[in-house]
Chain A
Amino acid sequence: MMKIDVAIIGGGPAGLAAAIGARRAGIQNVLILEREAYLGGILNQCIHNGFGLHTFKEELTGPEYAERYVLQIEEMGIPYMLNTMVLNITRDKKITAANSGGLLEIEAGAVILAMGCRERPRGALNIPGTRPVGVYTAGTAQKYVNLDGYMPGKEVVVLGSGDIGLIMARRLTFEGAKVRAVIELMPYSGGLKRNIVQCLDDYGIPLKLSHTVTEIKGAPRLAGVTVAQVDENRKPIPGTEEYIPCDTLLLSVGLIPENELSKSADVLLSDITGGAVVNERLETNVEGIFSCGNVLHVHDLVDFVSEESERAGENAAQYVRGEHLSNKDGGGVRLLATNGVRYTVPFTIDPRNVKDKVDVRFRVDNVYRDKYVSVYFGDEREQRRRRMILTPGEMETVVIKKEMFLKYPGVKTITVTIEE
C-alpha cells in the first residue's frame, strides 16, 4: 500500500494544474496517475492555436500549452505515473490502478478527480440507418489525423457545430478532404464565432443551422447522409430532406464528464452538469475528494480549467493539513440557478471558508441578448450586470465577495438568474 497525500487522477490540463496547486500550497507527497504514455491529455491532439490567452497572454497550440505545464511539473519534481489506469476509488480514498508493473494500491489523504470528459457517441443520438464504417466522433477523427497521421475519409459531413467539429472541418480540409457541410440542430452554433469564420467561412464550408441528419446510408462504408431542416421543436420537417454523399460523418454533439470512477467512490453527481456536486472548495460530498476541470463541468477555455484546478489543488492541500472547515455540518449556502441559468459551480458556499471571493461559473440554456445577470441573497438583489449577449456555448462567471456574506448574515440561498 502506497501512501500519498494528494493523489490526482488524470494528467491532462486539470490534473497538471491541480498538482502544481497542491505542491505550491506546500504538499510534497503528490502523485499524478495518467493512463496515456504522456502527460497533457487531450491537449496533445488539439494542435490548433487559441489556447492560453488568459494564462500566458499569448496564443498557443494545445501541445504548447500542455508543455508549459509539463515543464513546471518537471521543474517542481512532481512525481507522475504514465500508462497507469485507475480502476477504482473508494470513499475512504483508496485507489486501485493497473500498469504493466502490476496492481497499485494507494491510500490517499486527498483525491483530486481530473479525468476530463468524453464525447457523446452516435448511439446517444439514435440516428436511423445503417451502421457503416465512417461514422466517428470528431475527437476520434482528431486522434486519427493529428496523432496517427491518417485520414478516415475524403468527403466529410460534420453533425454538430461545437468547437471540435468546426476545428476538425478545417483540419480535414488541410489534409486533403472535402468537407461538404456542418449540420447544426439548433438555430445557433455552440462554437465560437472565431471558429465559424476561420474554420468554415475561410474555406467555403456551409453551416446549416436548424438542420439534422435523419438517415445514415451505405454499407459497409458510409455512402451518404440525409439531412433535413427541423422545426422549432427540433423535429425534421417533411419535404426538406436533402441527400449529401459522403464517406465520413463526424459527430460533434456534446461532451460528457467522465465520472465512472467518481461513482465508485459514492460521489454525488449533478444531472445537469454530469459532474460532481461541489462546494466552494471544489470538494465533493465525499470529504477529501475534490473535482476540477472537465470532469466537474465542461469548460470552453482551458485557461479556466487550469485556474480552477490549481485552486482544487490548493484546497486539497489545506484539507490534508486539516485547515478548512468540514462540510459535514452542511453549513453551506445553497446556490440556485433559475430563469435561463442552467447550473452553477459550486453548488454550495460555506461563508466561513471564503477568504475574499468565490468565482461562480454558470451556463445559460439559450441565446439571450441585452439582458441582466442578477444575484440574489435570499430575496435581496445584490448584483445586477447588463450583458449584451449570453450564449450556451460560453461559460459565464459571477463573483461572490466575502463582504456580501457579511451584509446578509444567516442567508440560506443565493440565486443566479437572468432578468430583463
Chain B
Amino acid sequence: MGLLWIPLLPMLGTLVPLLVARYSRSRIAVYTALLPAIALFLLFIQAPAVFSGEVIKTSFEWIPLAGLEVAFRLDGLAWLFALLILGIGQLIILYARYYLSKEDNMPLFYSYLILFMTAMLGIVLSGNLIQLWFFWELTSISSFLLIGFWSHKSEARKGARMALTVTGGGGLALLAGLLLIGDIVGSYDLSTVLASGDLIREHAAYPIALVLVLLGAFTKSAQFPFHFWLPHAMSAPTPVSAYLHSATMVKAGIFLMARLYPVMSGTELWFLIVSMTGLATLLLGAYVALFKHDIKGLLAYSTVSHLGLITLLLGMNTQLSTVAAIFHIMNHAVFKASLFMAAGIIDHETGTRDMRQLNGLWKYMPYTATLAMVAAASMAGVPLLNGFLSKEMFFAETLHQATLGSLSWMVPVLATLGTLFSVAYSARFIHDVFFNGEPATELPKIPHEPPRFMRVPIEVLVAICLLVGIFPSFFVGPLLAAASSAALGSELPEYSLAIWHGFNLPLLMSFLAMLGGLIIYYNRKYLFRFQAQFPEPDAKLVFEGLVQSFVGNCTRLMHSLENNSLQRYVYLLIFLAMLLLAGPMIDLNATAGHKSQLPLDGLTLIGAIILTIAAVATVLFNRKRMVSLISLSVVGLIVSLAFARFSAPDLALTQLSVEVVTMILMLLALFFLPQNTPKESHPRRLVRDLGLAGIIGGVIGTINYAMITRPLDSISWYYLENSQTGGGGTNVVNVILVDFRGLDTLGEISVLGIAALGIYKLIVRMRLYMPSSDQTGRPWAKGRHPMMLSVVSQSLLPLALLVSTYIFLRGHNMPGGGFIAGLITSVAIVQQYIAHGVDWIKDRLRINYQWLVASGILIAALTGVGSWLFGRPFLTSWYDHFSLPLIGEFELASAMLFDLGVYLTVVGATLMILANLGKLTTSHSPAIKENS
C-alpha cells in the first residue's frame, strides 16, 4: 500500500496551497512541501527492496474489459526518477518561495507545480501503458499552465501554446504507438509488455509502433527537429525552468525510451533513428548555445544538447551505453537544475539576464558565483565533478560502436566536437557573467547576494555534484546499478565507477575538448562575427505562421462546407440518409414478401384518398399557412382512423387527443407568426427539393412495403401470454407501458417534463410581437368569449373529466390509460381557457403546472422505488383482487399508481405549454411577470 501513497499524496497536495492561501508566504511553502516530503520518505522506505532487485506492484481494476487498470509499479528506474522528481521538487518549492514576488499568485503557482509533480510521478510509476499516457498528457497540460504562469506576457502565452502543441501532438502519436504495442502484446500491463520484447520486435507493425512512440519521446525531450519549443518555454518563471525544463519533464521522453528499452531497442532501425537524432541534437544544441546572450537561453540550448547526448547513448544499443545514459540523466538533472537556479538568482538580483550587460558579478555575489562556477564546470565535464564521470563513459561508448560500418569513426569525433562547444559555452557562462570587466551601468538593480535560503537548494545540488564526482561508487553505485538493471531488463554489464581509469582514449578526447573549447571561447569574437552573417530564425514566428496558415486553411474549408444555411444542412443530411437507405434496397430482389396480404376494402380506400388529397394540399398551400394547417389536421385525423382500423385503439385515442392539442398549439403559434410565407424559393430549388422528397418518399414507402409483406417473428408473444398473469391486465399495450417496460415510460415522461420546462423558459423571456390585425388589415374581433361556447364548455367540463377518469381506470384492461386520460383532461381544461379566458380560469383553477409535472414524475419514480421495500427490483409491480359491498369485486395494482404519475405528468406538461402560451396575450403573461 505504501506505493499507492507516493503518487496519491502529491495528488492531494495539489489542493493544499489553495486551502492555506490566506497564510504567510513561508507557511504556504511549508504546507505545500509537507505531503511531497512524506511521499519522498515513503519512497526511501521502499529503497532496500527496490535495490535488491524487487519490483513492487499494486493495482486496482478500472475497466477490465478494455484492459484498463489503475496500476503502479516501482523498480529501480522508476525509483531513480521518483527521487529526482520528489527530491528536486522539494528544493524547487523552497527556491520558489524566494523567487516569486509579492504580486505573483503564489498558491496558484504551487498548486500547478504540485499538479505537475503528480503527473510526472504518475508517468514513472505507472504499471499500465494507457495510464502512463494519461499522466504524460497531464504533464503537457500542467507544463502549459506553468509556462504561461505570467499570462500578462505575450511571449509566455506564445511559449506555452507552442510547448502544448508540440508535446501534446507528440502525445497523440505516443497514444497510437502504445495502442499498437498493446494490440501486439494483447495487454497494456507494463510487466507483460516488458516481457514480450521478441514478440514486438518481430511483429510487422514494429516499425510503425517504434516511430510513433519515438515521436512522443522526441517531442517531449526536445530532440531535433522538435527542439524549438524548449528555448521558448524559458519565458516561464525560473523555478519552472529548473524543474520542468531541465530536471524532470524533458526527461520524460528519455524515461520512456529507457522504460521501453527492453522491448523496442536492439534493432537497426532503433539505432539509426535514436542515435542519429541524438547526435544531431547534441551538436546543434551545443553550437547554438554559445551564441545566446540570454543566460536562460544558453542553458536551454545546453539542455537540448545534453538531452541529445543521452538519446545518443540510448540509441547505441549496447548495455554499457545505457548505463552511461542513466548516469548522465542523474548528473544532468543535478547540475542543470542548480545552474538554472543560479541564473534565476542573477536575474532576481540584477534585473537582467543579458550577458552583454552582466559582467564582473564576482565582486557583488562571490558566494553565488562560486556555486554557479562549480555547477558550470560539471556541465563542461571538469574532473572531480559528476559531469566528468558520465562524459568519460559516453566517450568510451562512442568508441565501442560499429553500426555505421566504416563510418563509425565519425561518432566519437562528432561527440568530441559537441563536448568542445559545451566547454566553450560553459566558459562563456562563467567568464562573461562573473568576470570580464564591470557590469553595465544601467542595470535595473544594484547586484547583491540573494536571501540566505534562496541559495540553499543550489548548495545542496552543488554538494551532490562534488560528492558524486569524488566518491562515485559510494554515493550512486547502488542506485545506478538498480536503475540500470531495471532499464536493461537483464543482468548488468561490467563497469567501474572510478575517477581515474589511466591514460586512455576517452581521457584524451576530454582533454582535446577542454583545450578546443577554451581556444574557441578565447577567439569567440571571430566566431560571433561569422555567426552574425546568418539571420537568426525565430522559431516563434515560424511556428505562429504555420499555426495561422493551418487555421486559415481549416477556416476556408469550413466556410466552403458550412454557409450557415439550415436548409443546406438538412438537405445534405436527408440526401445522405437517402443514399444509405437506397443502397441496401438495390440488393433486395423481390419487393413483396410472402405474407398473405389483407384485401382492400372501400372504406380504407376512401380514407387513403382523403389522406392523399390532404397531404398534397398541405404542401401545395404551404404558403397560405392557415389553409395548410387545416389540411394538416385532416391528415392527423385520417392517421388516427388508420390506427383504429388496424387494431390499435389505444393509438387511435392518443393520436386523436394529441391532434386536438397540437392544432390548438399551432393556431396559437400562428397568431404570433406571419400568416403567409413569402415566395422566395428559386424554381431550381423547388425542383431540387421536390426531387429529393419524391425519391426519399419512394424509398421509405418501398422499405415499408417490403417489411409489412414479410412474415413476422416477434418477441411480443411473451407479453401476450404474461400480461394477465404477470401484470394483472388484459390491455397488453397498457401493461407493457406501465409494467413490462415501465422504466422506458418513466424515461419518456421525464423527457416530456423536460421539454415542457424548456418551453416554459423560452416563453418566460419572450419579447412579444403581437399583431393587432390579420394580414389583410382587419382588426381582431373584440367579443372574445362567445356566450354559447362558454356555457356549453362549462357544462362539458364535468362530463369530460368523468370520461377521462373512466378512460384512466379502465386502462389496464381496456383501451385507455394514463397517457390518453391525461390528454383528454388537458383538452377539457384548454377548452375552458378558450371559452372563458385566462382571467376567469385563474380565479377557479389554482394549479401550478410545474409542480404537477414534478409530482407526476415523482409518483411514478416512487412507485418504482416502493418495490425495493419488498426486496424486489425497481418497478416490480403488484396486483390483487378485492371486494367491497355494493361495488363488488375489483382489482388494485401498483401499476395504477404508476399510471397516475403518467397522467399527472401529461396533464401538467400539456397545460404548462398551452396555458402559458395562451397567457402571453394577457396581463398574466409569464414574460411580464418575469420582467416586472
The answer to whether A and B belong to the same complex is: no
Binding site for B on A (CB under 8 A): none
